[in-house]
Amino acid sequence: MSSPIQRTGRRRKKTQKRRIVFFTLILPLLLVLFTGAGYGAFLYKKAETVFSESYMNDGREKSDLRDADVHPLEDNVSILFMGIDDNLKRNYGDNTRTDALILATLNIKDKTIKMLSIPRDTYAYIPAEDDYNRINHAHVVGGPTATIESVEELLDVPVDYYVRMNFYAFVDVVDALNGIKFDVPYEFRVKDSSDVHYVNMEPGVQVLNGQEALAVARTRMNDSDIERGKRQQQILQKVVKKALSVNSVTKYDEILEAIGENLRTDMTFSEMKSLIDYGKNDKGLSYESLTLPGTDDFLNSGAYIYRADETELEVIKGKLQKHLGIETSSSYSDEENSSTESEESDTEDESYSTGE
């Protein structure tokens, strides 16, 4: 389905403004909300209102890669999380690019989750344009639907649902949790979420507020898109762990407010509730982080792109298809490529309990 992607060997480092998608907090929220007693009952009603108002039926038909409709309570499903590159100063609305794309596949039998970070500048076929472009451009052309079609074309797996959020939710949620502890990899300086003020970061373990966490998540000043994707997943895992802690339960009201104002999804509240089963197994919330290896390159026009490695892409396709239990089109199995395993972050197969 996808056309071959060539590899090249040039590399570029540059500073750009970045945004991060925030998604995995939804599951720990549900774990608390559906206790149905006391504070949980209050939150349940509020969550139902918030998520119902965030629901957007864009009229998209089921994926061509699906033979029948699916439901997260009964089937393996995939969810595409989109972080959009927008703020009050830019005010692009629906014409903005996606700055972060993470595809999550959920296996109903094993209660496991695989998450693949897709670099925003990945050179891919955009069906809505009938041409190749950076994958983050798809949202400009046709919003979530065009983005979903582009991801399906790239990975040969169906995208069953999407969750789209802007960075305001991420900042507000981290602040509501009174910050997260994180090891900042290096010193850097970037603009904050308003694109007006600057955030100055020093290396080392420290408690980050919302703006600082966003700055660490969006920078790739001294590394690469791959490292940035790994760092985003690590930060999200820190947020989830903090949100699952008993001390954070009283913050869920504020968190719901932050999410509700900045979320759009085609998942119904009933479908979201089904995700609670993934946190009920003995191992806790367990998932594997994946990256998409590739190289930096330039088009003849001088525009920068990220080319996914052809062989590694086939390995990723096989992993996701196997996890979803669909027919594998990839000619590579999990065991046929060990370099992909070495590229995965050291947070692979992370499990979460309610402790900090």
* Residue 355 is assigned to a structural domain of this protein: no
* Residue 343 is assigned to a structural domain of this protein: no
- pLDDT score at 229: 77
- pLDDT score at 169: 78
Assess whether pLDDT exceeds 70 at residue 106: yes
Number of domains in the chain: 1
* Residue 141 is assigned to a structural domain of this protein: yes
343 or 287, higher pLDDT: 287
| 141-194 confidence digits (pLDDT tens) | 999 999 999 999 999 999 999 998 877 778 888 998 899 999 999 999 988 877
Question: CATH number for the domain including 93?
Answer: 3.40.630.190
- Region of 118 please: left (phi>0), alpha (psi -120 to 50) or beta: beta
> Could you list the residue range(s) of the whole structural domain that residue 122 is in?
26-337
* Residue 351 is assigned to a structural domain of this protein: no
* Residue 189 is assigned to a structural domain of this protein: yes
* Residue 349 is assigned to a structural domain of this protein: no
- pLDDT score at 284: 61
Confidence of residue 4 (pLDDT cuts 50, 70, 90): very low
* Residue in 72, 150, 4, 61 with CA at minimum distance from that of residue 324: 72
The pLDDT mean for the chain works out to 79
* Residue 350 is assigned to a structural domain of this protein: no
* Residue 263 is assigned to a structural domain of this protein: yes
- Measured CA to CA in angstroms, residue 308 lies from 323, 324, 340 at distances of 21, 22, 12
